[in-house]
Chain A
Amino acid sequence: METDVSDLTSLTLAEARDGLKARRFSSRELTEAHLQAMARARGLNAFVAETPEQALAMAAASDAKLAAGNAGPLEGLPIGVKDLYATKGFHTQACSHILDGFKPPYESTVTAHLWRDGAVMLGKLNMDEFAMGSSNETSYYGPVASPWLPPNWSGDKARAALAGDKRGLLIPGGSSGGSAAAVAARLCLAATATDTGGSIRQPAAVTGTAGIKPTYGRCSRWGIVAFASSLDQAGPLARTARDCAIMLTSMAGYDPKDSTCVDRPVPDYEAAIGASIKGLTIGIPREYRLDGMNPEIEALWRRGAEWLKAAGAKVVDVSLPNTRHALPAYYIVAPAEASSNLARYDGVRYGLREPGSDIVELYENTRAKGFGAEVRRRLMIGTYVLSAGYYDAYYVRAQKIRTLIKRDFETVFADGVDAILTPATPSPAFGIGEKSSEDPVEMYLNDVFTVTVNMAGLPGLVAAAGKSAEGLPLGLQLIGRPFDEETLFSLGHAIEESAGRAPFPEPWWE
């Protein structure tokens, strides 16, 4: 065991797996290196609960299995878990005040799959409250700072901000901001995340990591705190497309406890990494070229298309005419479903309870105190669009528009397009506290390129594709046919190969 332990947090998930198999280091060493990195990075606020004892116990069990030669596909690999996933006996609060102290007596199906395959849990990751947000600023536990320094900031200035209210430091994206920050800062090899409107892909893009929202139904939603059930999907966030493929192979799979989870075999997604993309047809949707678009994003998008062309793919212009309706329709469908799903938080069965003179007052006081401003806002919008007299005008109309959005994609795929290439975000990461809270729509626009994918139930992958002129990470999105995650992994890997592997952010926070 000659490996320098300080290097163990710089490995990809695949490299760490191969190193463990070759016995170059142990899971205990690998896990300890990450626990130490987490302890030094507490200022970033990526983890809301650290589980070092559990991690070391799992690592010891993995080392025994590795020695005995019966290791699972993720044996001994330390990962982080978004706070939205139920982990039996551990902090599971969707980063909301209203779930104070909640420790589920059960395990989510997706995390159970990961532990079955040998992964090691380092702790629970910060996120926007109930996954509602695009910057990780709505968390009850406070914002997460991105490990990327704001342009022209010194380490001293950033450390001072970290010790204060974090204003001006960069957002890691959201809602899976803790997952993205932890992977980018080398605090874990990979993380679980969830995506309702872009919550895996947007954080991956702004932190220079990779993430995939699989096809709706690919992963079980059982044991994941529900936000908008017809849009929510679990997925991984990791350093590379290959690492995401390794994670998804374990996370996916049929679960009778989720009636929308699909019973079809899970391929070995890693086998798609490095597969030739020669002859694939890539669509470039003209409606994604927005008025006043950031020229750097537009240039990156063009470069991505050229990379794929150079690797043998055919690039064609396509049209998805209902694209501009997706975001407004999403802000009817998602809050409507949330208002129903979040009705369960009543101060009676779990979490926070604020007394009241009667039961209605108990509910109203508990929910007023327990939900943050963004969640309250969305629950009220959802309640309004579902209320008598407005249901048809808002909710039914939005569901019809969803049909139109899906039809757009079906037409393009039927015309022989294998995947669609788009920008992932309208801009690089912005600063914490930079977007005002008076106009919530300003924040919603961050999801303009990602939300169509959830509305149509399709898989979407984001790969790191370069840096802005100011040195901030940028990503590109690939959208695939239903259950064709494999093509996305092949294409995502091709983009990463062309872009080149970027160095990690300097650990200024230590």
Chain B
Amino acid sequence: MAVDLATVRRIAHLARIAISDAEAPALQGELNAILTFVEALEAVDVTGVEPMTSVTPMKLPMREDLVTDGEIEPQVLANAPLAEDGFFLVPKVVE
């Protein structure tokens, strides 16, 4: 399964990565090299095989449903490129 240029642009948008028209053909070549490499897997017989969900046979541990931290607003915002009045700042999203 090879990807065309339109698909490359669609994937880039889904991945939220801006790409220029000039970059797209090179990316197409690289992605197709990887897809060709993984193509061999199509020939493997996986009938009746369970997909792996956990590599170690263990049950997910449960914990008490309790608040264990909080009240750390300054720490949460400390690394934000733009913050004001206890909020992260983003471009206007609601008209």
Could you tell me the distance between the alpha carbons of A398 and B39 in the complex, rounded to whole angstroms? 11
Q: Contacts of A263 on B, CB cut-off 8 Å?
A: 61
A444 at the A/B interface (Cβ < 8 Å)? yes
Choose one: B46, B56, B88; the contact of A215 (CB below 8 Å). B56
- Which of A67-75, A141-149, A282-290, A352-360 lies at the interface with chain B? A352-360
B38 at the A/B interface (Cβ < 8 Å)? yes
Chain A CB count within 10 A is highest, among B16, B27, B79, B80, for B16
Q: Contacts of B8 on A, CB cut-off 8 Å?
A: 380
Could you tell me the distance between the alpha carbons of A371 and B23 in the complex, rounded to whole angstroms? 14
Known pairs A403-B50, A404-B49, A482-B56; A441 contacts B33 (CB<8 A): yes
Q: Contacts of A440 on B, CB cut-off 8 Å?
A: 30, 33-34
B5 at the A/B interface (Cβ < 8 Å)? no
Determine if A381 and B31 form an interchain contact, defined as CB atoms under 8 angstroms apart. yes
Determine if B56 and A216 form an interchain contact, defined as CB atoms under 8 angstroms apart. yes
Could you tell me the distance between the alpha carbons of A234 and B33 in the complex, rounded to whole angstroms? 30
Q: Name the interface residues of B14-53: CB closer than 8 Å to any CB of A.
A: 14-19, 26-27, 29-31, 33-35, 37-42, 44, 46, 49-53
Q: Interface size on B (CB < 8 Å)?
A: 53
Choose one: A331, A339, A438; the contact of B34 (CB below 8 Å). A331
Determine if B34 and A260 form an interchain contact, defined as CB atoms under 8 angstroms apart. no
Determine if B41 and A364 form an interchain contact, defined as CB atoms under 8 angstroms apart. no
Choose one: B51, B78, B91; the contact of A362 (CB below 8 Å). B91
Could you tell me the distance between the alpha carbons of A404 and B49 in the complex, rounded to whole angstroms? 8
A351 at the A/B interface (Cβ < 8 Å)? yes
Give, as a whole number of angstroms, the nearest-CB distance from A89 to chain B.
Answer: 10
Could you tell me the distance between the alpha carbons of A58 and B44 in the complex, rounded to whole angstroms? 54
Could you tell me the distance between the alpha carbons of A256 and B33 in the complex, rounded to whole angstroms? 41
Choose one: B75, B79, B88; the contact of A101 (CB below 8 Å). B79
B58 at the A/B interface (Cβ < 8 Å)? yes
Task: List chain A positions with a Cβ less than 8 A from chain B.
Answer: 101-105, 215-217, 230, 256, 259-260, 262-263, 322, 324-325, 328-329, 331-332, 339, 343, 346-353, 355-365, 367-368, 371, 376-377, 379-384, 387, 390, 393-394, 396-404, 406, 438-441, 444, 455-457, 482
20 additional A-B pairs beyond A348-B88, A381-B35, beta carbons within 8 Å, are A217-B58, A230-B55, A256-B61, A260-B58, A331-B38, A339-B15, A349-B80, A349-B88, A350-B79, A367-B18, A368-B19, A376-B17, A380-B17, A383-B14, A394-B38, A397-B42, A403-B51, A403-B52, A404-B49, A439-B33
The 5 A-B pairs with the shortest beta carbon distances in the complex, nearest first, are A457-B55, A399-B51, A350-B79, A353-B81, A364-B18
